[in-house]
């Protein structure tokens, strides 16, 4: 028989292992947060705080302190750490909070909430945001430590950890991180196994092992990993950033538009009316960063629409005229986090919810809202330079960020060589860009949705652009990407805009203004180039779509910089110059004014997959409980009395019967007989088996009774289920409480001992 010292040493080892398992599970839950907040010192701070809290709890329990005292000590560690790291200037001796410290907390939290609400992921790790993330991690550690170590409910804690790990995936949808999920599943299994081994009584630990708890945990984890590795790729991927997940069409800002383009469904997404002479382009977002494979949406911070800094300032020369226009936008069937607006917007009114503007590119976005059903008004004032003014301007300037001129390494030579060849005769930056635009639209290129797929360059990467320049067939993504990259090889800052072309006029008029209908097939991408003194100027290289950017001489039209039918810089070409869809090829007719229709039709196959997955997830508790029950039924006939006894305890917990640690097996059995009507003969058979094991010599874990104990446990379990109403019986079967509540734990209840 092991000595008390060795037993205590074994328990301490089990507690240390459990503490490490909790820290590993919390780490697995914390790593996905890096998708929402840029990695930095906050990550180290969060892990350090979690480790300090767990270490404090472990050492407090070594001195046999009450659970409440342990929790208070952990809270004290949390307060000292948060004060020292974030609020030391307001604290006494850097660690003791003062009134000023408490006053600073809501300010930090408020600033962080505003950044989260209005910011675009990944957020910059500011002081306020780090305070919230690190503090939340510390509080989560305290809660998980209490639930696992004090309440002995590792499965419940695991549910909370998994829920926390899913928040970043919900906030920033993207491809499923299979390896991250597998790592999380492994740490959860490690946590459950460590909690089982850390139990104080050796006999109880062995009995639980024979009852199949670890095997059940392994079974649950195996199912979860199989779902992540095998089933997940077969269901629809999460919506891409900003693409919308509601009933309406969406906007894909990743330029991965090939599949959407080839969908035949076309719906009206926006209705527009304006007092401008031409219906403007509606810009959703801009893409400036390009590292060779894909263009990345700009991640600038947003500012409240009511702020004076909401839309920034254009470095406009004094001699360039501007004209103010107002456009009314009604969203009919568009679900996205970007509100399409003309450029350059000066004010936006009428949006419901928390919306912000990005001063850098004058776009409008929200973190947790949608454009669906919105009606809003935009005031914008596009510059109107003359041809002479544009030729006198030089591209670039302080407002053009570095990423607008960067080119990836190993850029295919054809891109720079073609740009130099096409612009060889041009003497100014503007003339070079006009030469590029004219070359793309000269007739040598063809708008095509099929050629990219057949030739394997269905994308916007450098290799796809090089292939596009060879075959001269593609859609707007290829034209815009090629133009922007070729401009950069000429040392001209460029970026890509994703938004909508002008719609088609309808017979409807409101307040004397014609209503234009913008369809989902008119989602479009086009390049912009920055000129100091006038700002960003759009160009239209896509053949057969829209109107190319042109400026006329001031002498030709006195008092005006642009012709009547010429496009407004930063706005759209006049709709009168749009191409007649009936004159296009079949593929072009379907997408006549755009590049990326996002179909609103419901595909029944993905919907069926989602339904099956939801039903499977809902059935997991039943399957896990059924697996454990079968293990108990298989172990009991082999003499495992603990398995038969635990089957009765689990059934009691499932229907809401208390199973306190202070009650002897005989008292518990008597209570089930007298209060819940279980058959006395069968209950006493199971009781006899567990008592024989409990009071046998050390090391004996079984008492063979043939099938008697197993059959008796089955009868008692059936009697307990039959003793409750049908509704509670269904809940006990589909959502068994015994999966997360251990017999004898705090949450299993406490009643006086009534044994004999």
pLDDT at 471: 86
pLDDT digits (tens, 9 = 90+) for 87-110: 999 988 888 899 999 999 999 988
Selected residue with higher pLDDT from 312 and 536: 536
Helix (H) or strand (E) segment spanning residue 483: helix 476-489
Helix (H) or strand (E) segment spanning residue 365: strand 363-366
Give the C-alpha separation, 261 to 259, whole Å.
5
Question: Dihedral of the CA atoms 41, 43, 49, 52 (nearest 10)?
Answer: -100
pLDDT at 451: 61
Q: What is the DSSP letter of 491?
A: T
* Mean pLDDT, range 166-184, rounded to an integer: 70
Selected residue with higher pLDDT from 443 and 695: 443
Beta-ladder partners of 358? 363
Most confident of 68-82, 605-619, 738-752: 68-82
pLDDT at 205: 43
Helix (H) or strand (E) segment spanning residue 476: helix 476-489
Name the packing angle between helices 4-30 and 41-62 (round to 10°). 160
pLDDT at 494: 93
Give the C-alpha separation, 602 to 206, whole Å.
53
Pairing state between β 295-297 and 303-304:
unpaired
* Mean pLDDT, range 624-645, rounded to an integer: 78
Residue 529, CA atoms < 13 Å, CB-side half-sphere: 29
**Among 417, 301, 435, 297, CA closest to 359:** 301
Q: Token pair of 148, please?
A: 């696992």
pLDDT class of 390 with cuts at 50, 70, 90: very high
Q: Token pair of 92, please?
A: 């006494």
Measured distance between the N- and C-terminal CA atoms of the chain, rounded to whole angstroms: 29
Most confident of 233-237, 491-495, 517-521, 747-751: 491-495
pLDDT at 77: 94
Give the C-alpha separation, 445 to 544, whole Å.
10
Selected residue with higher pLDDT from 364 and 230: 364
Instruction: Answer for the pair 513, 506: CB distance below 8 angstroms, yes or no.
Output: no
pLDDT at 110: 84
Selected residue with higher pLDDT from 734 and 275: 275
Alpha-carbon radius of gyration of the chain: 34
Which backbone phi and psi does 155 adopt, to 5 degrees?
A: -65, -40
* Mean pLDDT, range 334-348, rounded to an integer: 90
Average pLDDT, the chain: 77
Angle at 355 between CA 349 and CA 357, to 5 degrees: 80
pLDDT class of 265 with cuts at 50, 70, 90: low
Give the C-alpha separation, 125 to 139, whole Å.
19
Which backbone phi and psi does 614 adopt, to 5 degrees?
A: -60, -45
Residues 6+ apart with CB under 8 A from 649: 659, 668, 738, 743
Give the C-alpha separation, 720 to 686, whole Å.
14
* Mean pLDDT, range 167-186, rounded to an integer: 71
pLDDT digits (tens, 9 = 90+) for 104-157: 999 998 888 877 765 555 677 888 889 999 999 999 999 999 888 888 788 888
Burial 239-265 (b: 16+ CB within 10 A, else e): bbbbbbebebbbbbbbbbbbebbbbee
Q: Token pair of 678, please?
A: 């279980």
Instruction: Answer for the pair 710, 743: CB distance below 8 angstroms, yes or no.
Output: no
Instruction: Answer for the pair 365, 308: CB distance below 8 angstroms, yes or no.
Output: no
**Among 624, 660, 675, CA closest to 159:** 624
pLDDT at 705: 64
Candidate from 124-128, 258-262, 647-651, 740-744 with smallest mean pLDDT: 258-262
pLDDT of 543 over the 50 cut? yes
- From residue 709, alpha-carbon distances to 122, 687, 703 in Å are 59, 9, 9
- Provide, rounded to the nearest whole percent, the portion of the chain with pLDDT above 90: 23
pLDDT of 376 over the 80 cut? yes
Which residue do the tokens 């629809």 mark?
Answer: 236
Residues 6+ apart with CB under 8 A from 652: 658, 659, 672, 676, 720
pLDDT at 122: 65
pLDDT digits (tens, 9 = 90+) for 705-748: 667 888 888 899 899 988 888 888 888 888 888 877 778 776 66
Give the C-alpha separation, 655 to 648, whole Å.
11
pLDDT class of 296 with cuts at 50, 70, 90: confident
**Among 609, 579, 574, 694, CA closest to 646:** 694
pLDDT at 169: 67
Instruction: Answer for the pair 597, 520: CB distance below 8 angstroms, yes or no.
Output: yes
DSSP 159-204: HHHHHHHHHHHHHS--S--HHHHHHHHHHHHHHHHHHHHT-S-HHH
Residues 6+ apart with CB under 8 A from 626: none
Q: In 177-302, at which residue ranges do the beta strands (DSSP E only) sit?
A: 268-274, 282-290, 295-297
Selected residue with higher pLDDT from 223 and 21: 21
pLDDT at 367: 77
Instruction: Answer for the pair 472, 446: CB distance below 8 angstroms, yes or no.
Output: yes
Question: Alpha helix (H) ranges present in 67-126?
Answer: 67-86, 99-118
Q: Token pair of 623, please?
A: 């399957």
pLDDT at 608: 61
pLDDT digits (tens, 9 = 90+) for 555-602: 765 544 443 334 443 343 333 333 333 333 333 333 333 433 333 344
Selected residue with higher pLDDT from 121 and 81: 81
Instruction: Answer for the pair 261, 449: CB distance below 8 angstroms, yes or no.
Output: yes
Residues 6+ apart with CB under 8 A from 692: 641, 703
* Mean pLDDT, range 293-320, rounded to an integer: 82
Most confident of 219-228, 254-263, 625-634: 625-634
pLDDT of 430 over the 90 cut? yes
Most confident of 88-97, 174-183, 290-299, 584-593: 88-97
Residue 181, CA atoms < 13 Å, CB-side half-sphere: 20
Instruction: Answer for the pair 567, 538: CB distance below 8 angstroms, yes or no.
Output: yes
Instruction: Answer for the pair 547, 577: CB distance below 8 angstroms, yes or no.
Output: yes
Give the C-alpha separation, 236 to 606, whole Å.
6
pLDDT of 309 over the 80 cut? yes
Give the C-alpha separation, 593 to 729, whole Å.
59
Name the packing angle between helices 680-694 and 708-722 (round to 10°). 130
Pairing state between β 303-304 and 321-322:
unpaired
Q: Token pair of 553, please?
A: 């001489």
pLDDT of 529 over the 90 cut? yes
* Mean pLDDT, range 37-44, rounded to an integer: 86
Selected residue with higher pLDDT from 262 and 320: 320
Instruction: Answer for the pair 212, 582: CB distance below 8 angstroms, yes or no.
Output: no
pLDDT of 257 over the 60 cut? no
Angle at 357 between CA 32 and CA 117, to 5 degrees: 35
Selected residue with higher pLDDT from 748 and 605: 748
In three-state secondary structure terms, 65 is coil
In three-state secondary structure terms, 678 is coil
pLDDT at 638: 72
pLDDT at 460: 62
pLDDT at 748: 67
Candidate from 98-107, 191-200, 301-310, 582-591 with smallest mean pLDDT: 582-591
Give the C-alpha separation, 550 to 571, whole Å.
12
Give the C-alpha separation, 78 to 342, whole Å.
49
pLDDT of 81 over the 60 cut? yes
Instruction: Answer for the pair 651, 720: CB distance below 8 angstroms, yes or no.
Output: yes
pLDDT at 554: 76
């Amino acid at each position: 028989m092991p000595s008390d010292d060795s037993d205590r040493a074994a328990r301490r080892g089990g507690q240390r292992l459990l503490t490490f398992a909790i820290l590993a599970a919390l780490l697995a839950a914390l790593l996905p947060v890096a998708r929402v907040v840029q990695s930095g010192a906050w990550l180290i701070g969060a892990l350090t705080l979690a480790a300090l809290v767990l270490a404090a709890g472990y050492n407090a329990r070594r001195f046999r302190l009450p659970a409440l005292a342990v929790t208070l000590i952990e809270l004290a560690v949390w307060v000292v750490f948060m004060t020292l790291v974030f609020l030391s200037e307001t604290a006494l001796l850097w660690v003791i909070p003062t009134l000023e410290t408490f006053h600073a907390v809501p300010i930090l939290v408020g600033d962080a909430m505003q950044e989260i609400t209005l910011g675009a992921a990944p957020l910059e790790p500011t002081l306020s945001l780090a305070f919230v993330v690190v503090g939340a991690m510390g509080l989560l550690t305290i809660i998980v430590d209490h639930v696992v170590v004090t309440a002995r409910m590792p499965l419940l804690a695991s549910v909370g950890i998994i829920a926390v790990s899913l928040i970043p995936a919900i906030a920033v949808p993207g491809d499923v991180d299979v390896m991250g999920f597998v790592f999380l599943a492994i740490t959860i299994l490690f946590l459950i196994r460590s909690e089982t081994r850390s139990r104080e009584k050796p006999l109880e630990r062995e009995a639980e092992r024979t009852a199949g708890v670890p095997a059940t945990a392994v079974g649950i984890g195996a199912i979860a990993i199989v779902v992540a590795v095998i089933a997940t790729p077969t269901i629809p991927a999460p919506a891409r950033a900003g693409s919308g997940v509601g009933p309406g069409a969406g906007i894909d800002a990743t330029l991965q538009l090939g599949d959407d383009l080839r969908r035949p469904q076309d719906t009206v997404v926006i209705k527009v009316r304006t007092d401008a002479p031409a219906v403007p382009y509606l810009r959703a977002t801009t893409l400036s960063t390009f590292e060779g494979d894909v263009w990345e949406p700009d991640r600038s911070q947003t500012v409240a629409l009511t702020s004076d800094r909401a839309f920034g300032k254009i470095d406009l020369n004094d001699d360039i005229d501007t004209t103010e226009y107002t456009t009314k936008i009604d969203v009919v069937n568009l679900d996205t986090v970007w509100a399409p607006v003309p450029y350059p917007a000066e004010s936006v009114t009428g949006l419901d919810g928390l919306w912000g503007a990005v001063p850098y590119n004058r776009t409008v976005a929200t973190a947790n809202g949608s454009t669906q059903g919105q009606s809003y008004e935009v005031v914008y004032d596009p510059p109107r330079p003359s041809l002479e003014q544009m030729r006198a301007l030089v591209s670039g300037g302080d407002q053009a960020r570095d990423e607008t001129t960067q080119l990836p390494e190993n850029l295919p030579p054809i891109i720079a060589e073609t740009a130099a060849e096409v612009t060889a005769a041009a003497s100014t930056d503007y003339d070079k860009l006009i030469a590029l635009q004219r070359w793309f639209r000269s007739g040598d290129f063809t708008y095509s949705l099929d050629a990219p797929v057949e030739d394997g360059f269905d994308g916007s990467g450098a290799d796809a652009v090089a292939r596009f320049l060879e075959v001269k067939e593609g859609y707007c993504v290829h034209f815009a990407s090629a133009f922007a990259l070729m401009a950069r090889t000429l040392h001209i800052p460029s970026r890509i805009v994703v938004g909508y072309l002008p719609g088609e006029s309808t017979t409807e008029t409101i307040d004397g203004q014609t209503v234009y209908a913008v369809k989902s097939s008119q989602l479009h991408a086009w390049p912009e180039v920055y000129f100091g003194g006038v700002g960003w100027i759009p160009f239209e290289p896509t053949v057969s779509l829209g109107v190319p950017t042109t400026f006329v001489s001031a002498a030709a039209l006195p008092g005006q910089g642009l012709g009547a039918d010429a496009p407004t810089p930063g706005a759209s070409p006049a709709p009168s110059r749009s191409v007649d869809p009936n004159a296009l090829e079949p593929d072009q007719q379907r997408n006549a004014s755009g590049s990326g229709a996002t179909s609103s039709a419901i595909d029944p196959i993905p919907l069926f997959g989602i339904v099956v997955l939801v039903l499977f997830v809902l059935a997991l508790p039943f399957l896990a409980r059924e697996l454990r029950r079968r293990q108990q039924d298989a172990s009991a006939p082999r003499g495992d009395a603990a398995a038969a006894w635990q089957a009765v305890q689990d059934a009691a917990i499932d229907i809401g019967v208390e199973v306190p640690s202070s009650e002897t097996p005989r008292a518990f059995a008597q209570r089930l007989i007298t209060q819940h009507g279980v058959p006395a003969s069968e209950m006493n058979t199971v009781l006899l088996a567990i008592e024989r094991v409990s009071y046998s010599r050390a090391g004996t874990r079984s008492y063979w009774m043939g099938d008697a104990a197993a059959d008796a446990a089955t009868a008692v379990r059936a009697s307990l289920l039959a003793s409750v109403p049908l509704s509670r019986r269904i809940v006990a079967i589909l959502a068994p409480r015994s999966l997360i509540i251990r017999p004898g734990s705090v949450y299993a209840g406490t009643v006086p001992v009534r044994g004999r």
